[in-house]
Each structure stands twice: as C-alpha cells, then as structure tokens.
C-alpha cells in the first residue's frame, strides 16, 4: 500500500488509499498504512442466527477492527454487511443439523437483520455499506446445491430486474436517517 501511495504522489495524485478485506484478515501493519480500515463483516457466513446477527456484527467489529485504529483518526467502515434472501442455511464451520439451524437465508431473515442492523447503526454511528443493491446472477457458479448452499447470487435488495424483492421491507427507525 505504501508503494501505491508513493507512486500516486509521484504522479501528482494525492488521495486516500485503502483496501477492503474480511474483518478478521486486517493486521495492525496494514491498518497503520491505510487511510481507512474497511472490513467485510457478514454474520451469515459465521452461522449466526438472525436474532443475534446485528449484535454479533457489532461485537465482531468492535473486537477485530476498531482496536486497529485506536488513538488515530483513521476512519473505520464496514465495507460489506448484509444477508441473503434465499438459498439455504449456514452453520459454519459445521454442516447444519436441520434446515432451521444457524443462519437462514430468506426474505424474513433479511428483513429482520436489516431492521436490527440499520437502526442500531443509526444510533451508534457505525459507518457501513449495505451488501448489496442487486442480486448478481453470475455468482451462482459459487453455489453448492449438493450442500444446500445456494445463496451466493441472492444478496441484493433488488433482483436482476432492478425491482425491489417481493416482501422486502425497508426499515423504519423512528425517523432517524443516515447523514
């Protein structure tokens, strides 16, 4: 990252440089040279039940990423947080014992996580990017139907047709909005 920054400055471009990585892949060394710490934090991939997902995300973030910039002005951003609208369930690291165990991909669960996360973040000031606006059908190549893992292409709030998914509810956080 230092090399990229140096090359940009040599070209007359003085701009912030950062990267985004999995929340537990950030190191103190990387955080020291980044102009922002941006981590992907997905409770679904940890196998967390949706009722606990927003608090798990906050706790993970506070424990893994926030300490990396303690005593600095380096911005902290969750670069990806979301929930799939269908495709099975996940009990990482183990196989799920039933279809109702672990993280369940579905519209009901997406609605609950989004409401819990968005409203909590408005209250506690967490900066984040919701993952994601649109489903990406090309990601179906990463699905594993034989393992009941068919969620990779189902993370959007809207389908490939750019229409809001049926049953999706945009959270009402009591009048609070992002600034």
* Number of domains the chain is built from: 1
Name the residue range of residue 107's domain: 16-147
| Assigned domain for 177 exists | no
Least confident range from 18-22, 41-45, 111-115: namely 18-22
130 Cβ neighbours under 8 A, 6+ residues apart: 81, 82, 114, 118, 157
Per-residue pLDDT band at 8 (split at 50, 70, 90): very high
pLDDT in tens, 28-49: 999 999 999 999 999 999 999 9
> What's the mean pLDDT in 70-87?
95
User: Residue 161 domain-assigned?
Assistant: no
pLDDT score of 179 more than 80: no
Q: Is residue 94 part of a domain?
A: yes
Residue 178 has pLDDT above 90, yes or no: no
By percentage, how much of the chain surpasses pLDDT 90? Answer: 84
pLDDT at position 127 is 94
1 domain-assigned: no
**Mean per-residue pLDDT for 69-79?**
92
**Cβ-proximal residues to 61 (8 Å cutoff; 6+ apart), any chain:** 23, 39, 41, 76, 78, 126
Residue 118 · residue 171 · CB < 8 Å:
yes
Residue 163 lies in a domain: no
Residue 153 backbone class (left: φ over 0; alpha: ψ -120 to 50; beta: rest): alpha
136-145 pLDDT per residue, tens: 999 999 999 9
pLDDT band of residue 1 (cuts 50, 70, 90) is confident
pTM of the model: 0.91
**What was the pLDDT predicted at 176?**
82
Dist. CA 116–CA 119, nearest whole Å: 6
Token pair, residue 42, equals 């997905």
């Amino acid at each position: 990252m230092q090399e990229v920054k140096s090359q940009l400055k040599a070209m007359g471009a003085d701009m912030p440089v950062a990267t985004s990585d999995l929340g537990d892949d950030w190191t103190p060394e990387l955080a020291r040279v980044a102009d922002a710490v941006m981590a992907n934090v997905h409770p679904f991939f940890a196998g967390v039940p949706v009722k606990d997902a927003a608090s798990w995300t906050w706790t993970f973030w506070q424990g893994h990423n926030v300490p990396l910039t303690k005593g600095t002005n380096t911005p902290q951003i969750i670069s990806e947080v979301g929930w799939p609208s269908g495709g099975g369930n996940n009990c990482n690291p183990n196989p799920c014992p039933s279809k109702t165990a672990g993280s369940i991909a579905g519209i009901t669960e997406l609605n609950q996580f989004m409401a819990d996360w968005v409203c909590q973040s408005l209250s506690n000031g967490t900066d984040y990017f919701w993952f994601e606006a649109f489903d990406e059908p090309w990601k179906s190549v990463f699905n594993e139907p034989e393992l009941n893992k068919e969620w990779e292409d189902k993370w959007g709030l809207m389908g490939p047709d750019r229409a809001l998914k049926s049953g999706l509810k945009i959270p009402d956080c009591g009048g609070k909005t992002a600034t």
